[in-house]
Amino acid sequence: MTLTIDHLDCSLGKRRILHDVSGLSASPGEITALIGPNGSGKSTLLKAIAGIEAASGRIRLGERQLDALSLEQRSQCLYYLLQDTSTQAALSVFEAVLLSRRTQVAEPAATALSAVERALTSLELDPLAERELVTLSGGQRQRVAIAQAIVRKPKLLMLDEPTSALDLHHQLQVLDYLRRLARREGIVIVLAIHDLNLAARFADHLWVVKEGRHIVSGMPEQVLTPERLRDIYAIEAHVEWPIDAPPRVIPLSALHRLGD
Amino acid sequence: MKATTRLSHTAKPESTAVRYLARQRRQRRLIALAALAVLISLLVDVATGPGAYALPDVLKALVAPSEVSRILEIVVWEIRLPVALMAIIVGASLAVAGAEMQTLLDNPLADPFTLGISSAASFGAALAIVLDFGLLPVAGTLLLTGNAFLLAMFASLAIWALSRLRGVSIQTMVLMGIAIMFFFNALLGILQYVASAESLQQLMFWSLGSLDKASWGKLGLAGLALMITMPAFIRARSQLTALRLGDVQAKAMGIDVGRLRLRMLLCCALLSATAVAFVGTIGFVGLVGPHIARLLVGEDQRVFLPMSALTGALILSLTSILSKTLIPGILLPIGLLTALIGLPFFVSLILRSRRETWR
Ligand SMILES: Nc1ncnc2c1ncn2[C@@H]1O[C@H](COP(=O)(O)OP(=O)(O)OP(=O)(O)O)[C@@H](O)[C@H]1O
Ligand SMILES: [Mg+2]
């Protein structure tokens, strides 16, 4: 079930944010990383795919024509995990993850409980299960949000900077888990991410957006070159692809201003 | 990866689901306790009042009316029981309306009182008392109730209508509610200014809130509002809980947030308008009932909703008892006392939990 996007336009208020975003595709079993500067439209693109922001254009997931489906119908097969996971809700971690499952499927309590339990275990959250969301640190809350996402077993999972608040252990643990999840279940995973080292290491495919336009997409080796990075981010960078070690993207200096 | 494998440093004797079920049992026990407290309070409420009847006699009048004196039967069944039940139904209605308004408008201060619904009702009552003007073709005490209900509905619907406009934020809706409160308070002030001393006193008494005009008919109507809206809230319980994670996350879970807010606000409007129309302005219950419930069981609507209803009912029922016993022989307006009885309890709970939630 490949995700393909063509001629996607999206406006927020009076501002046109996405300009004819075309030619994007993401394959099942793979991790696609969405990169681009601040304000380039990454979050907006993911929300438009999820149906959270109104957009025009063609969005297909395998046979399904997503753009013809309502928000509720789309939520049956996809999930968008938003960038800001802060909350003041007086819910326990377990309750929050269970809630996510319950808003999607009606099923016997025992089935739901064991699904929640598995999701918590895969994110190493079992010790926190009874804690209230407000008492968690930012990174812990982010992992709970990821558990809320995977407990729904979406066919298309979109995560907006899912590792932005995580420590090094959990950055690797979460991304490694997501990669195995994609391979095992054959789902499409798209994640917006700023850390290019992680993107280079874990992504099978990259989408680059800038100023609301699709600039380039392809394999990390093709996209993450010093020339391209200069175009995209206005930085000088050194890139290495060692055979026996993870790829390295070393930013050296910021060049001219990067317009918003 | 097998579901049961755990890293050693996260190993726990019990599974997370088992611990969740234990938490759920604790929550349910608290709800059962609250229900018991409401029942006891109801009985004590029926047993107190002028004409000192002993509790066993009153209980007997409740279960076997034919075996007690005719006077006691009338006192219990026609006077005290409707009042005591009204306290419970109105307390529950106000607290449920407050709980859902706080959830829907993402604001811990939202309740029928702060959103101007009570002020609108007071103005409606003033129209009837001061000008003898009715918005509905009815007479007597129903004139007052009808006016209060219509204006309370109008105020709620104004907030509701605003929420239909695209791009209106929920903060704007709260501000609109506050503006409505000031508007109707000003109109009320004008009527008070021109009112005669007698009608001024009557108006004063109404707006302080009182239960003693309760009858089985009014009780039925107030109960009906609760019976119509509760199933709607219960059906939407997961969606309402999800709203507490923010609109975007709720939308990601497939919830049509705009439509949910519209439908549920309409239910809140019906509940609060009915409650205020029958008993006048009773503040604090709609605000504090839900907060106490939140402290006790959290915000999962499966437990938060019943707990809010019960704490609201309990606060108003205890207040009703207090209004009869505080100064023997004098019935104090119940609206005066809700804050007095609710506040110490509320403050002690806040101080004990000191957390970053709204609690
Ligand atoms: N509600 C809104 N109304 C108008 N413009 C908005 C709104 N939300 C975002 N924008 C604008 O849309 C553009 C894209 O925003 P978006 O959040 O998609 O960027 P992003 O690529 O996710 O950025 P970041 O890396 O900072 O998360 C930005 O220029 C932003 O200012
Ligand atoms: Mg973003």
CATH number for the domain spanning B156: value is 1.10.3470.10
Specify the pLDDT at position B6: 45
Q: Is B359 on the interface with A (CB under 8 A)?
A: yes
- Predicted model pTM: 0.89
**pLDDT of residue B342 exceeding 80:** no
Mean pLDDT of chain A, nearest integer: 93
Does any domain span residue B5? no
Q: Which amino acid is at B197?
A: A
| Domain layout of chain A by residue ranges | 1-77+155-220, 87-153
Cα(A75) to ligand 2 centroid in Å equals 20
pLDDT of residue B8: 46
CB within 8 Å: B6 and A99: no
Residue B146 covered by a domain: yes
> In angstroms, how far is the first alpha carbon of chain B from the final one?
39
Residue B340 located in a structural domain: yes
By C-alpha distance, the chain B residue nearest A102 is B238
In contact, A37 and A210? CB cutoff 8 Å: yes
User: Two tokens at B43?
Assistant: 């009985």
Q: Is residue B334's pLDDT more than 90?
A: no
Residue B13 counted as domain residue: no
Predicted confidence band of residue A259 (pLDDT cuts 50, 70, 90): low
pLDDT at B3: 46
Please tell me which of A29-38, A83-92, B74-83, B170-179 the model is most confident about, judged by mean pLDDT. A29-38
Where residue B249 falls among pLDDT bands split at 50, 70, 90? Answer: very high
Is the distance from CB of B155 to CB of B180 less than 8 angstroms? yes
Taking the CB of residue A243, how many other CB atoms lie within 10 A of it?
4
Ligand 1, atom 24, lies closest to the CA of A38
Tell me the torsion sign for CA atoms B263, B32, B220, B115: negative
Query: Does residue B125 lie within any of the structural domains?
Result: yes
Q: Going by DSSP bridges, is the β-strand pair A31-35/A205-210 parallel, antiparallel, or unpaired?
A: parallel
Q: A210 or B130: which carries more pLDDT confidence? A: A210
A127 pLDDT higher than 60: yes
Ligand 1 contacts (CB < 6 A) are A 12-13, 15, 17, 36, 38-44, 83
Cα B331–B337–B341 angle (5° rounding)? 130
Distance CA(B267)–CA(B278), nearest Å, equals: 17
Q: How far is residue B128's CA from residue B114's CA, in Å, rounded to a whole number?
A: 23
Say if CB A133 and CB A144 are below 8 A apart.
Answer: yes
Q: What pLDDT, on a 0 to 100 scale, did the predictor assign at position B177? A: 86
Task: Locate B272 and state its tokens.
Answer: 């609060």
Predicted local distance difference test score (pLDDT) of residue A216: 93
Does residue B32 lie in a domain region? no
Q: Does B26 touch chain A (CB under 8 A)?
A: no
Q: What is the pLDDT of residue B51?
A: 75
Say if B115 falls within a structural domain: yes
pLDDT of A9 > 90? The answer is yes
Q: In whole numbers, what is the pLDDT of chain B averaged over residues? A: 86
A100/B6 touch (CB, cutoff 8 Å), yes or no: no
pLDDT digits (tens, 9 = 90+) for B193-218: 888 888 888 888 877 888 877 889 88
Domains held by chain B: number: 1
Domain ranges, residue B279? 55-352
> The CATH number of A1-77+155-220 is which of 3.40.50.300, 1.10.3470.10, 3.40.50.1820, 1.10.1070.20?
3.40.50.300
Residues whose CB falls within 8 Å of the CB of residue A62, separated by 6 or more in sequence, listed in order: A1, A2, A155
Q: How far out from the chain centre does Cα A107 lie? A: 27
| Distance between Cα A212 and ligand 1 center (Å) | 9
Asked, for residue B102, whether it belongs to a domain, the answer is: yes
Q: How confident is the model at residue B354 (pLDDT cuts 50, 70, 90)?
A: low
Residue type (1 letter), B213: K
pLDDT at A168: 94
